[in-house]
Amino acid sequence: MSATVAFVLKGYPRLSETFITQEILALERRGLDIVIFSLRRPTDKDRHPMHRGIHAPVHYLPEHLWREPARVLRAWRAGRRRPGYGAALGTWLGDLRRQPTPDRVRRFGQALVLAHELAAHVTRLHAHFLHTPASVARYASALTGLPWSCSAHAKDIWTIPEWEKTEKLADLQWLVTCTAVGRDHLAALAPAPDRVELAYHGLDFGRFPRPGFTRPARDGGAANDPVIVLSVGRAVEKKGYGVLLGALARLPADLHWRLVHIGGGVLLPALKRQAEASGLSDRVTWLGAQTQDTVIRHYRAADLFVLPSRIAGNGDRDGLANVLMEAQSQGLACLSTWVSAAPELIEDGVTGLLVAPDDEAALADALRRSIADPGLRARLGGNGHRRVRAAFSHERGIDQLIAKFATAA
């Protein structure tokens, strides 16, 4: 494939966005030439092994315009001579009038730099996330005349205003999103429904091989051999970890379990205080952000996976959380909530358990049943494993993207 695509990302590399890393790596292996433009520099100390397999050059746009004034000024001087400058400026000013924030100013400056520093062989722009990366790609597209496309996910769909989604969908060439509920929402706003397509991320089963072991039949009856409950996710409002701690505090004192949490996040200090106030500190292990190899080891060591997703106050919510698919790929029984796309993966009582979001009592009851019944966990884990392998290979989504990039080229 001869086309070169500039991927516009919010941050790169990131431990919490393995689905983007997996996609870029797979697209490169299929022959797509990619160059990465990141709006932010990395903050994670570690990297996934996948990052080392990606050959795309990475360019960092000015995270704060005032720190690189000469770079921004050069880009503006070059940009104002472009035929598309007037259209780009008009689009940005229209956005700024409705959302007059410093962040909106920064996006136009980043778009100027992106347009100025793009190599001549780049033929299109592709944004991951419909919020800020798509804004930068949209303004840069108007400046350069290059077409742009987008991959939308979760927060970006549910937290930006409808006027912004509608206008971006009118400007871009095509969009893929990773849940049916997101697809239906965006297709209703698009000028033509077929501009929006469902493409599940799926899993690369080469990195998540079949588990070749049988889990111990722990039932929570032995204090020296507790049931290991695992959760992987950032400590943010939409993940529902406060609800999880409240549910765990309701469990009988003679039911023995241990919670292992993997992930960073701004709410970690508050969650640790909640665990201590509830008398759970000695039963909870907070591991922080970890590499994917470490996460896989914990999937295999755990007895039950829990992700108590909820809808945050600003409308943010999970899409189809990759960690649920990852856990199921390892035969791990999953417990989650009826939020967003979780029911697209989990059939309640068959391939996992679902409860209402924000319902501590219902979550506590499902936890109690799952912890005390190793047979239930084995059945749900086995069914979930078969379901995810049958329907959620990442190859299908990569096929769709390759076809779209090839057609556009």
Fold agreement (4-202+393-408, 227-391): yes
Could you tell me the pLDDT band of residue 2, with boundaries at 50, 70 and 90? low
With a cut of 60, say whether residue 1 has pLDDT above it. Answer: no
pTM for this predicted structure: 0.87
Structural contact between residues 244 and 337, judged by C-beta atoms closer than 8 angstroms: no
Q: Which fold has domain 4-202+393-408?
A: Rossmann fold (3.40.50)
Read off the pLDDT of residues 60-99 as tens digits, 9 standing for 90 and up: 999 999 999 999 999 999 999 999 999 999 999 999 999 9
Lowest mean pLDDT among 8-12, 324-328, 331-335, 404-408: 404-408
Single-letter amino acid, residue 321: A
What percentage of the chain exceeds 90 in pLDDT? 89
Rounded to whole angstroms, the Cα distance separating 124 from 167 reads: 19
What number of other Cβ atoms are within 10 A of residue 242's Cβ? 18
Kindly provide the b/e burial profile for residues 9-31, where b requires at least 16 CB atoms within 10 angstroms of the residue's own CB.
Answer: bbbbbbbbbbbbbbbbbbbeeee
> Which residues neighbour 314 within 8 Å (Cβ) at sequence distance 6 or greater?
159
Tokens of 185: 């929402």
> For all residues of the chain together, what is the average pLDDT?
95
Read off the pLDDT of residues 210-265 as tens digits, 9 standing for 90 and up: 888 899 999 999 999 999 999 999 999 999 999 999 999 999 999 999 999 999 99
Q: What is the DSSP letter of 104?
A: H
Q: Domain coordinates of the chain in residue numbers?
A: 4-202+393-408, 227-391
CATH of domain 227-391: 3.40.50.2000
> Which residues neighbour 179 within 8 Å (Cβ) at sequence distance 6 or greater?
154, 198, 200, 319, 320, 340, 341, 344
Read off the pLDDT of residues 165-188 as tens digits, 9 standing for 90 and up: 999 999 999 999 999 999 999 999
Lowest mean pLDDT among 17-26, 39-48, 385-394: 39-48
